[in-house]
A = this chain, B = another copy of it.
Amino acid sequence: MYLKGKKIALVIDKNFEDSEAVYPYFRLIEEGAEVIIAGPLKATIINGKWGYPLKSDIAIEELKATDFDGVIVPGGYAPDLLRRYPHLLNFVHEIFNQGKLVASICHGPWVLISAKILSGKRVTCVPAIKDDVINAGASYFDEEVVVDGNLVTSRNPFDLPAFMKAIITFLGKK
The residues of B that contact A22 with a CB separation of less than 8 Å are 18-19, 22-23
Q: Flag whether A85 is at the interface (Cβ < 8 A).
A: no
B-contact 0/1 string along A100-144, CB 8 Å cutoff: 000000000000000000000000000000000000000000000
Q: Residues of A at under 8 Å CB distance from B?
A: 18-19, 22-23, 26-27, 29-30, 47-48, 50-53, 157, 160-162, 164-165
Copies in the complex: 2
- A161 contacts which of B18, B30, B161 (Cβ < 8 Å)? B30
Determine the distance from Cα of A44 to Cα of B30 in the docked complex, in whole angstroms: 31
Q: Which of A22, A26, A50, A53 has the most CB of B within 10 A?
A: A26
How far is B50's CA from A52's CA once the two chains are assembled, in angstroms? Answer: 5
